[in-house]
Homo-oligomer: A and B are copies of this chain.
Amino acid sequence: MQPTESKNSPFSEADSYSALAPTFSPLYQQIKGLITQSLQSGEWKPGELIPSEMELAARFKVSQGTVRKAIDELSAENLVVRRQGKGTFVATHNEARSQFRFLRLVPDDGERAYPENNIIEVRRLRAPADVARMLELKSGESVVFLKRVQSFSGVPTILEELWLPGAIFKGLTMERLNEYKGPMYALFESEFGTHMIRAQEQIRAVCADQLTAELLVVEPGTPLLSVERVSFTYGDRAVELRRGLYLTSAHHYRNELS
């Protein structure tokens, strides 16, 4: 293992492969890249134990400290989880710990609880232009469309539409979805091998139209939070577009700025 350009190791003897490559990146970044590749390729699946720091150091022929720094960053990005005395695990949505990771709507008072799920509609259709653009597909390619209402202790609060690339989410059925209690990302991960690592949201205020009002059992015109989300899996591939309408009379969207 060598830096992409120039000698970097204290023991580099032969700097004879003099550089053409203009890009330099530190060793630990390259290690991080290699580990990420293994995550992406499925060599280690979500929830599994990855090799110990010593083993990885041996595999890549670098010191343990270098592997450590690579894993530190992966851990900071929530791609892996370290557990002292046990090892390092691939991050998963199938854990109590990550139930609320992507759910920012919290009750104004009272305990946080995961909402009930009510699937209204599941269809396969051709991607409209805007959806295709967001999901990095060609317009007209197959997508899975999904509509659902989520309720907190019986009160309908979130109306959501999802678009997913048809190629990845082939066998997605309403039955499969209704069995599930927790976050949909847990199902996406275990059933379709697609683990979400980050997402980007655009938030607006809108008024409920007629249909929305009926589904959320509010007056038409009620102000709602419009949340449009694009989610990404390994390698920053966009694999989900979500458009949600949140009722914020007893909940709020919480955000931490730093």
Q: Name the residue of chain B whose CB is nearest to the CB of A108.
A: B202
Q: How far is the CB of A237 from chain B (nearest CB, A)?
A: 15
- Complex CA gap A76/B258 in Å reads 10
Whether A257 lies near B104 (C-beta < 8 A) is yes
Q: Is the interface of A mostly helix, strand, loop or mixed?
A: strand
Residues of B within 8 A of A51 (CB): none
Residues of B within 8 A of A99 (CB): none
Would you call A248 an interface residue if the criterion is a C-beta within 8 Å of the partner chain's C-beta atoms? yes
Q: How far is the CB of A68 from chain B (nearest CB, A)?
A: 12
Would you call A33 an interface residue if the criterion is a C-beta within 8 Å of the partner chain's C-beta atoms? no
Number of copies: 2
Would you call A62 an interface residue if the criterion is a C-beta within 8 Å of the partner chain's C-beta atoms? no
- Complex CA gap A156/B11 in Å reads 62
Would you call A256 an interface residue if the criterion is a C-beta within 8 Å of the partner chain's C-beta atoms? yes
Count chain A residues whose beta carbon lies closer than 8 angstroms to a beta carbon of B.
32
- Choose among A101, A102, A205, A207 the residue with the greatest number of B CB atoms under 10 Å from its CB: A205
Whether B258 lies near A197 (C-beta < 8 A) is yes
Name which of A110-118, A173-181, A219-227 contacts chain B: A219-227
Whether B204 lies near A225 (C-beta < 8 A) is yes
Would you call A57 an interface residue if the criterion is a C-beta within 8 Å of the partner chain's C-beta atoms? no
Would you call A55 an interface residue if the criterion is a C-beta within 8 Å of the partner chain's C-beta atoms? no
* Apart from A198-B256, A223-B224, 5 more pairs, CB < 8 Å: A198-B257, A203-B254, A204-B253, A205-B223, A229-B257
Mark A residues whose CB is within 8 Å of B.
76-78, 101-102, 104, 197-207, 221, 223-226, 229, 246, 248, 252-258
